Amino acid sequence: MAVIDLNKKLWRRPQQGMVKGVCAGIAHYFDVPVKLVRLITVLAMVFGLFFFVVVAYIIMTFMLDPVPDSGLEGEQALNSGELLAMVESELAAGEKRLREMERYVTSDTFSLRSRFRQL
């Protein structure tokens, strides 16, 4: 079952589109292949919804903003294994820092410096 991210924005993707990138934007938003969205669009036009599809496409062309260049850079999304490895390395680094702080706080140097500050 597909989960839709509510923070995700619908953009036109002219770089990936054939006409204005509306179908490519819809496909990216719903995480389905672009060919499927194009096929549904053409079939809808053939089976009597030609006027509705053309009007909707034109409206969406003007209402949707093109995807910013920074949005295209993030296309290579990390898979779950890479994300897990990245989180694991950050947790290991945090744990290492915490151990170093704990080692310092429990050391004789810390207690000596603490006593000098109290004088």
CA distance 34 to 27: 5
Tokens found for residue 84? 């897990």
**How would residue 70 be classed by pLDDT, with cut points 50, 70 and 90?**
low
Supply the DSSP symbol for 12.
B
pLDDT tens per residue across span 9-40: 777 777 777 788 888 888 888 888 888 888 88
pLDDT tops 50 at residue 1: no
CA distance 82 to 88: 10
**What is the residue-averaged pLDDT of the chain?**
80
CA distance 21 to 40: 15
Domain ranges of the chain: 1-77, 80-118
